[in-house]
Amino acid sequence: MAEFEIIGRDNWEEFVNSPKAVLMLGKSDCPACDAFAKELTEWCEGCEGWDDVRFGKLIINQPGLAGFKKQSPWLADVTDLPFTVIYKDGEVQKTFMGGGLNRLTNRMERVYRG
């Protein structure tokens, strides 16, 4: 079983530098972000085979994220939320806008097992 973590200014750097990490970006006033976060939380509670992957949510309009934004210049090109980033050893491997567990698992398969 995987855990869906809340990521913030104190733990974002350690999270994204994990061997395998999936980060969902959202905003506090984004209903689609809330819906996908709920879907991911429920999926993580019952998922199998992804115990070595960390899953988290980062609300990008919370204070104290200047370091994350500076280290993530691609963030300036994000036009829709939620936005999911798949990291491997601290490097961005895949990204996608919107939700969808099938989209996520397909990309995870390619990045982590491909």
d(C-alpha 92, C-alpha 17), whole Å: 10
33: Cα separation from own chain's centroid: 11
pLDDT score at 11: 97
Q: Residue 43 and residue 9: Cα distance in Å, rounded?
A: 25
Q: What is the pLDDT of residue 114?
A: 84
In order of start, what are the domains of the chain with their CATH numbers? 4-113 (3.40.30.10)
- Tokens 């036009």, residue? 79
- pTM score > 0.75 for this model? yes
- Confidence at 95, pLDDT banded by 50, 70, 90: very high
Per-residue pLDDT at 75 exceeds 90: yes
Output the average pLDDT for the chain: 95
For tokens 């939620």, the residue is 82
Count the alpha carbons within 13 Å of 37 in the hemisphere toward its beta carbon.
Answer: 21
Cα–Cα distance measured from residue 57 to residue 82, given in angstroms and rounded to the nearest whole number: 10
Query: What distance in Å separates the CA atoms of residue 103 and residue 36, rounded to the nearest whole number?
Result: 12
Cβ atoms 32, 57 nearer than 8 A: no
